[in-house]
Each structure stands twice: as C-alpha cells, then as structure tokens.
A = this chain, B = another copy of it.
C-alpha cells in the first residue's frame, strides 16, 4: 500500500504568536519521502520539531509577521507496526477528558450497552453513534464536547469520535482520538477517528482498533497524524499569543489500492 498525502495552510497573524502544528504523519510511518516548508511573510523558516513518547510530532514556530504558509507532503509505502500498547495508556485513556466527558455520559452508556463486550461493543457503539447523529458541517463549536454532541444529535468527524470515545470509556474500554489523513474522504480534510483497546482473545490479538462512526472513509488506508485524549491534543494548529486566522487549508490523501470497509472488520491504524 502506498499513500501520498499533502497539506497546505495559509495563516494570517495579527501579533507575535507561538504556533504549534500537528500536521505531519506520525513517527514510525514508513516514509518513502517527506517534506515540510514553512515561511513567514515569504521568508523560509525552520520550525522546532518535538516528538513525544507516543510518536506525536509537533512543529513549533515562534512567529513574528503577518502571513504564514505551510506545505507538507509525504509518501508512505507499506504499513507501520501495529500501535504499541502501553500499560499507562490503558489507564490514561479510561479517564474523562475535556471533550469526552465519560463521567457525565456513564448513565447513558450503561443504559445502552450494559452486557455488550469486546469487539461487539466497539461495533455496537459505532452503530449507535452513526444512527444517533447526523453529519452536519459547521454544527459544532470548538468548546463543544460529547455531551453537547449527544444532546444536539449532530456534528462533524471530531464530534462523532468524541462521542464514541466517551461512551467506550464509560464502559471501561480505553479509547482515544486519532487525527488522520483519510484517502477517500469527501470533502477532503484532516479526519478524526476513535481508537479503542481490545484485550486479546482466542481469535484476535490485543491492541488498538479503529472505530469510525462517520463511515466516511475506508479505515485500512487511514494514516495517523496525532494521537491523544481528544481534540484538545490533536488539533492541526494551536496558537498561543496573537490572533491567527485560517485563510486556507487544503489536504490531499490518495492510496494506490483502496480496500473495502463494510464496518464489520477489526482494523488497526497503521
């Protein structure tokens, strides 16, 4: 499998700011090649790259200027190793988080899913969220979490993922958000999905499996960008300080060999 991805950002800046980009494919992706170009008012600059213990890469820029352009491109051939399973993660990703209020949603989860376990629970949650929500671009605010999504019954990919995560954590299943490139997505943009942990069984190895209640792109060709508790951890751009306007965002993602995904398989993000 060969995946080719790009992203392009045009930003306006009204005061000096620290910009943190999470736009690059995760560490551990089998890169054939990769490039990132950043410029401030037309002058190339080099961001500082940070990599965390989980493979998240952040590109940090302390920017003074008025226009910023970022171009990223990568070609990835083959698949990464399965996502590593860390004992601490299995606890951390059970906790409620800013946009995945699993504590508040525990009564709802209990009412809907008590008695369902393992792969069947992942499937049940995905189906329930898919049935409950309507995909409506622009329907949510940045401060909205899973509770408001559940009440409003609509959202975009991050809202679908937040609700899946909150319900799964409430059922004691570790779950987290993955920002990804998603070949086949339409309209094309950065996508967000839930990853949930399954204990090993006779038929399935333990590990992190993709839950995507939007069903907008085949899961087997997703390419990981960032991983975290929720959108607070995986935004493609965060700024501290000055006001930043997003003047343009273009994402492309293609794969040479589309698999089919009827939603029923257990698929890992690789």
The yes or no answer to A52 lying at the interface (CB within 8 A) is yes
The docked-state distance in angstroms from the alpha carbon of A174 to that of B151 is: 22
The docked-state distance in angstroms from the alpha carbon of A245 to that of B122 is: 30
Interface string of A146-173 (1 = CB under 8 A from B): 0100011110000000000000000010
The yes or no answer to A243 lying at the interface (CB within 8 A) is no
Contact call B104/A143, Cβ cutoff below 8 A: yes
Contact call A233/B92, Cβ cutoff below 8 A: yes
Q: How far is the CB of A77 from chain B (nearest CB, A)?
A: 28
Contact call B232/A95, Cβ cutoff below 8 A: yes
The docked-state distance in angstroms from the alpha carbon of A98 to that of B169 is: 14
The yes or no answer to A105 lying at the interface (CB within 8 A) is yes
A–B complex contacts, Cβ < 8 Å, 5 sampled: A58-B91, A60-B91, A95-B98, A107-B153, A107-B154
Residues of chain A at interface, number, CB under 8 A = 37
Contact call A172/B50, Cβ cutoff below 8 A: no
The verdict on A97 contacting B97 (CB below 8 Å), with A53-B53, A87-B50 known, is yes
Determine the chain B residues whose CB is within 8 A of the CB of A233 once the complex forms. Answer: 92, 95
The yes or no answer to A94 lying at the interface (CB within 8 A) is yes
Tell me which of A20, A58, A96 has the highest count of chain B C-beta atoms within 10 A of its own C-beta: A96
The docked-state distance in angstroms from the alpha carbon of A233 to that of B89 is: 12
Contact call B154/A91, Cβ cutoff below 8 A: no
The yes or no answer to A111 lying at the interface (CB within 8 A) is yes
Nearest 3 CB-CB pairings of A with B:
A107-B153, A95-B232, A52-B88
Q: How far is the CB of A14 from chain B (nearest CB, A)?
A: 15
